Amino acid sequence: MTLDAPTVTRSALWRRAIAEFLGTALLVAIVVGSGIAAERLSTDPGLQLLENAIATALGLGVLILLLAPVSEAHFNPVVSLADAILGRKDRTGLTAPALVIYVIAQIAGASAGAVLANAMFAAPTAISTTARATPATFLAEIVATGGLVLLIIGLTRTGRSVPVIATAVGSYIGAAYWFTSSTSFANPAVTIGRIFTDTFAGIAPASVIPFVGAQVIGAAVALGLASVLFSGITAKQGE
Amino acid sequence: MTLDAPTVTRSALWRRAIAEFLGTALLVAIVVGSGIAAERLSTDPGLQLLENAIATALGLGVLILLLAPVSEAHFNPVVSLADAILGRKDRTGLTAPALVIYVIAQIAGASAGAVLANAMFAAPTAISTTARATPATFLAEIVATGGLVLLIIGLTRTGRSVPVIATAVGSYIGAAYWFTSSTSFANPAVTIGRIFTDTFAGIAPASVIPFVGAQVIGAAVALGLASVLFSGITAKQGE
Amino acid sequence: MTLDAPTVTRSALWRRAIAEFLGTALLVAIVVGSGIAAERLSTDPGLQLLENAIATALGLGVLILLLAPVSEAHFNPVVSLADAILGRKDRTGLTAPALVIYVIAQIAGASAGAVLANAMFAAPTAISTTARATPATFLAEIVATGGLVLLIIGLTRTGRSVPVIATAVGSYIGAAYWFTSSTSFANPAVTIGRIFTDTFAGIAPASVIPFVGAQVIGAAVALGLASVLFSGITAKQGE
Amino acid sequence: MTLDAPTVTRSALWRRAIAEFLGTALLVAIVVGSGIAAERLSTDPGLQLLENAIATALGLGVLILLLAPVSEAHFNPVVSLADAILGRKDRTGLTAPALVIYVIAQIAGASAGAVLANAMFAAPTAISTTARATPATFLAEIVATGGLVLLIIGLTRTGRSVPVIATAVGSYIGAAYWFTSSTSFANPAVTIGRIFTDTFAGIAPASVIPFVGAQVIGAAVALGLASVLFSGITAKQGE
């Protein structure tokens, strides 16, 4: 999508894969770790979610700011997929092999991040038993992911700087934890990674397929909306 | 008012109407959805409002940043009205037909957003029974809306960038949830949309007329204050 | 101090006085109003202070951003005093008569803001009975005010933009509510205004003199520290 | 590392030492002071940590913004050490004598800050009895410090402006309070300073050695990761 495109083309694919692995790992470590801390320290479930949401919003923004110059900081297979699709025509997007490598790095990173968070809190790494899939959360994941992908496309299309995009994406997820009934996973890699912790932020394997399905639908909705809303807009950096 | 005026003039009116519909829908989905989540997860009413306020402040800022290049991101009939009035002389404001279309899109979007939030939480769409109109909340809505409209006029007049305006408007609403007894609706379309949920953020129909009346008065106060405070100031971008 | 100095010199003194009155009034309305809301809605005193602090941090940042182009957005007699002292040599500071008008506008505004907040919450305007002066809060007000004045001098001296200064000052006060035992009044006008509400944010008249005394000492400390730290630094805008 | 390098070279070493002393003192005063306030005002331990984290995130960001033009605002021996190591080749880093002076100023400042916070809250200055060292917190401090040092190296290497870096570092620490089991000390000077308060934020002397050891390991990990991720990236200011 060309977050810092000139820099990105200079980064070798293996370096970008490391950045995607590390960024997604730290993102999941933040989500899972702050969830464990919240669960242990607070009793009110809303307060637990608030603590989890604030930590995630701040941490995600920082990770994007740090790693966007290396790999564009996708950390999310549907974002990488949208990048590959939108950048096909003018060859600025991920190629098919690069897409595969990005997604593998993201899923591996997400899983490692959950294990790391468990270890930091001396919690066992175990398969989550938290069932989350319902018709309401299915709809919520479509909305959450659609909003996220539309946001990323719109901000890159209108030429926003990396610090602005980083803050906006973090803020969006912070809000989406609250305005969706699914607490906004909005990311297939993170969804898979969160299988590996039976704590506040975990998700039972049986809920993963419907969640990921909804996320892909949401990304498709976002691509459609973006073509309606932003087709006539050209990037004007620093506007 | 000329948030990104050059871009806006390039956007067809139908595209701007879609942006206003979508933006207002998502704004109300954030307000109502986070209210439902807060109500279900927390017991302390202040904590519920804090969760609602943080989600709204973050989400509103992101929506303005995303959609300002398309439609100026009013999402609010009194903002569109102020834009039409202030831009009459130099023909940069909304024309009367465009104003009508903006307001229709905003009200339709707000209503759709409440229905969407209900659906995401498997809550029935029902007419709110929360009466909110009192002399104190009438005054509060004047102050809340007056502050909002003055802020938008002042920031555009002094040439602030879209990211700065977006963050400031979100922050203002986050504060205004707290410093007004009405929790700062400050928006006739959002007020109408919030009729359609009998949850934390709902408002009974009988309270809507006084709330909207106070909001119009507040906007008028803001126009008067702006002419006193900002008449000698010219936009200096990036100042 | 030259926040937007070229603009300021174009603003007539009466317009700057209105901006100082309005800004200080809204600042106190935010502090007092959010305090009343917090007190009514939450039971945990820490949660009340958190709600109060978040509303104040967001609201103060917005007010500075809005009104700095008109009056430099002091809203605080010790900030105006520091401006007059530091700008004496090169004639960029407030003159003595302007300083007097600024301080009068700030105190009148602060008092009006407390009355407005009371009215928005249907709370009686009454003299506060909350005694706050102790040796510990005396020290705390020195630190809080010293930090605030040093921050404003340092940021203007190093040429930070108005949006950066606005966010930083709001953030500072949000932190200072917590790291000082006095909850960081740090402003003689606001201290006087908060006499007129017998609610969460009020202060008994007998505590005002020691608080204001500590604030003046803090400002003096800041002037000394600033001359040590920033004497060799020249403004480089946007650095 | 060259935060504002041209300015820094103009600042005499004694002035930079004062800035490091003052900044580290105020940082610890914020951490300890807000911890005392949180402990006294709230009952839920998670809410206490949230209050502590928000105050620290906001306050740290402001301190970096204020003092970076004077001393680069390290406030942290491992950051100064990384600066000395990375800047050896092109002679932009701290020299060995300057490094020693920085570290002394930071440790002295941190200790003074704890004493100041105690005094502001009329709490006795006493050696902390809070044991914190466990295998889990040892790992957590490696992660917390590694993330911090990698962030600072990455943001300076990619040419981010001081306001962006300041906000990012504050946000990172705000998140790291939550996603690590150690609540992210991530700073040997601050760790030592926090010995001198037997309150919420204190640390027993026996836990200091393992914490500092983990922090040094974390910094080494960050240097390794940075050389992999950012070796091909050159600073492009304002990108």
Rounded CA separation D184/D178 (Å): 8
pLDDT of residue A91: 83
Residue type at C130 in one-letter notation:
T
The pLDDT-based confidence of B167 (bands split at 50, 70, 90) is very high
* Nearest CB partner across the interface for A59, out of D47, D136, D175: D175
Identify which of C102, C85, C107, C82 has the alpha carbon closest to the alpha carbon of residue C219.
C82
So what's the ipTM on this one?
Answer: 0.94
- Which chain C positions have a beta carbon within 8 Å of D29's beta carbon? 143, 179
pLDDT of residue D11: 77
pLDDT of residue A216: 98
B-contacting residues in C 178-237 (Cβ below 8 Å): none
Which chain D residue lies closest to C47 (C-alpha atoms)?
Answer: D42
Question: Is 1.20.1080.10 the CATH classification of the domain at B5-229?
Answer: yes
pLDDT of residue C40: 98
* Nearest CB partner across the interface for A65, out of D53, D147, D168: D168
- Which chain D positions have a beta carbon within 8 Å of C226's beta carbon? none
What are the tens digits of pLDDT across the range B68-100? 999 999 999 999 999 999 998 888 899 999 999
| Sequence ranges of the domains in chain B | 5-229
C9 touches chain B (CB under 8 A): no
| For residue D236, pLDDT beyond 80 | no
* Nearest CB partner across the interface for C34, out of B57, B179, B228: B179
Q: What is the mean pLDDT of residues C202-209?
A: 98
The pLDDT-based confidence of C90 (bands split at 50, 70, 90) is confident
pLDDT of residue D90: 81
| For residue D177, pLDDT beyond 50 | yes
* Nearest CB partner across the interface for C43, out of B44, B135, B177: B44
| Low-confidence residues in chain A, pLDDT < 70 | 1-10, 234-239
- Which chain C positions have a beta carbon within 8 Å of B228's beta carbon? 15, 18
CA distances from A16 to A20, A99, A109, D157 (A): 6, 11, 13, 17
A151 vs B66: CB contact, 8 Å cut-off? yes
HEC profile of C99-132: HHHHHHHHHHHHHHHHHHHHHHCCCCCCCCCCCC
Q: What is the mean pLDDT of residues D201-209?
A: 98
C50 touches chain B (CB under 8 A): yes
Q: What is the mean pLDDT of residues C101-117?
A: 98
What are the tens digits of pLDDT across the range B22-60? 999 999 999 999 999 999 999 999 999 999 999 999 999
- Which chain D positions have a beta carbon within 8 Å of C177's beta carbon? 55
Radius of gyration of chain D (CA): 17
Q: What mean pLDDT, rounded, does chain A reach? A: 94
pTM of the model: 0.95
Q: What is the mean pLDDT of residues C101-124?
A: 98
C25 touches chain B (CB under 8 A): no
pLDDT of residue C235: 56
Q: What mean pLDDT, rounded, does chain D reach? A: 94
- Burial (0-12, 13-18, 19+ Cβ within 10 Å), C130: middle
What are the tens digits of pLDDT across the range B121-165? 999 999 999 999 999 999 999 999 999 999 999 999 999 999 999
pLDDT of residue A229: 96
Identify which of C160, C169, C167 has the alpha carbon closest to the alpha carbon of residue C239.
C160
Helix axes A45-71, B45-71, angle to 10 degrees: 30
pLDDT of residue C232: 73
A143 vs B65: CB contact, 8 Å cut-off? no
Q: For residues A68 and C238, which has the higher predicted lDDT (pLDDT)?
A: A68
pLDDT of residue B236: 52
Q: How many percent of chain A have pLDDT more than 90?
A: 89
D7 touches chain C (CB under 8 A): yes
D-contacting residues in A 120-139 (Cβ below 8 Å): 120-122
Rounded CA separation A91/A83 (Å): 10
- Which chain C positions have a beta carbon within 8 Å of D119's beta carbon? 136, 139
Rounded CA separation D221/D206 (Å): 24
Please report which residue ranges of A87-204 form alpha helices under DSSP H: 96-120, 135-157, 162-179, 188-193
Distance from CA of B121 to the nearest CA of A (A): 5
C59 touches chain B (CB under 8 A): yes
List of residues 6+ apart from D214 with CB closer than 8 A: D137, D138, D139, D140, D141, D142, D145
